[in-house]
Structure 1
Amino acid sequence: MKAARLVSEIVVLSARTQPITAAALAQRLQVTERTIYRDLAELSRIGVPIVTESGPGGGVSLLGGWTSPLQGLTREELDAVLLGSIAAGDLGLGDAQATAHAKIASAPEADTDFARLIVLDGPDWFTAPEAPEALGTIVTALRTRRGLTFVYARGEATKRRSVIPLGLAVKAGRWYLIAQQPGGLPRTYRVSRIDDIGLRWLRAVRPPDFDLGSYWEQAKRGFDSAIRTIPVTLRLAEAHLPDLSRAIPGPLTAEAIAGSWAVDANGPDGGTIGELFILLESVEVAVAQLLTVPGVEVVSPAEVREKLARRARELLDRNG
């Protein structure tokens, strides 16, 4: 996915003698312009000398006669560079990444100074990143197309699984294995809950039509839907919709704002006020989240409205 796309971008830019616009590059690779700009920043960070020119005839190109050193990278070095520093370190590719960076930096006109101005910090604030022991075996299985057997803990229950690994995902420092049992559907496994892992079968056949990126997006939405079951109707100003998104992140919030927020009044400052239907986790979680949204009004249910008012009065009494 991203790794293949970055390689494609280097190949396209290396083959061109004239700049190409971000829009044209996005159309060629079937992604958004925002994705292209993020990729270009990542390529610059690892030393690829990206040049951008504005105005008619402008676009993106490579500096001077720079040529890609990708042919000089080993498979592990290429994997390490394209995965990024956090994932490469967790997967035991730190040395390969250092070697790859040295090779790229030695290329003519490599912009190594720019890389020192960028810090990549994947995990969320206050979240300790994981480096589960099972990752090494999972990577071996993915590369050699082997199956896996392991003990998986869910709550207090444990069960041995035999699966075909389909990919890995890392979110906020947490690693997840996407795999399927033979004849079953793909599932997501938290890698830190995997124990007693080993390789199985000489060759595991993966479904040819499986797309890891699409599956992961659906899995995130499914998790969001599973925990958000309380229907709540809100009224708030359009100016505070971004505050709502920050307080209650997730695809369901974005869909609620895009699909159900409707103007029904004008606020005292001239801005618009609208009504919004949204699903939240529980009454207590809803109250805690909504307290951080300026000017929010709960229309229903009454229990959320009453507890929000009570909490607000308590805070006013203590801080007034």
Structure 2
Amino acid sequence: MDSSECLVALDVGGTKTHLVVETLAGARILDTVISSQDWDAEPASHGADWLASRLRATLPAGLSIVSIAFGAQGINNPSIGRDLEAALLDRGYRVRAVNDAALIVPAAGLRQGIGVIAGTGAIAVGTDGSGQPISAGGWGCVIGDEGGAAALVREAARAALRANDEGKPDDGLLSALLADFGVEDAERLTRKVNDDPTSDNWAPHCTAIFDAADGGSQLAVNVISEGAGYLAALVAQLKNRGAKGDDVVVAGSVIVKQARLLDAFKRALGKQHPRLAVHVLDVSPVEGAVFLARAAIG
């Protein structure tokens, strides 16, 4: 075995990319996080150029890459992954490409199950009876991604502004959003949210919702509960489409770090599918890409 031979694994999320390099013997020689700025899975030429440029800029010199696997936001159906794999092969990289949520189950050491990511966005991924990946959600924060950070902020702003229009006293949610966005009143909050309808603008303010809920805001509690219900619905949609396994593995900065969202998700899922076991991923999702990269070389 050539000591320079290695495998490369990446988890490309909405805001950051986790990159790991291991020797074939299992020694980790690089474990780093870089920005996901400008990442997009489509067109495939863009995604392939993005990934190739990051590999060239980040990997140590002299390595012989035997296998690459990555999970990425935006690979929401197998054809997108295949197009990326083909485009990267044209650039000299033999790659396995899957949705980032598809890393969750193998990272947890499970052969089957449904992975749910609630971080910047929200998506669920499983496999059907033939082993093909199926997904639900992941539409982006403008029209979907309920339960993810950006969409929670979108819904919190809607709830707070609606209550304000109805003449109801602020129960703490509106003031929390005003303070976090750094604006003085509801009208300015409207402009602050609408003028830049992106996850980069919305998601960083998600903690204000949980702080408001902790402070007694029922509106904030309702927003969190509704977001959790949508996440549970993603799992139900996949089960209805034949997703296999009795385990649900959750990951992502919001659902892992915010107990209110996790607890509400467990309650909502338990009402629909009480036999499903929920696990919180306690390792980085990139470990799933490591598993896939190693599996590709037997």
TM-score after normalising by structure 2: 0.27
Which has the greater radius of gyration?
A: 1
TM-score after normalising by structure 1: 0.26
Task: Report which structure shows greater RCO (CA 8 Å, sep ≥6).
Answer: 2
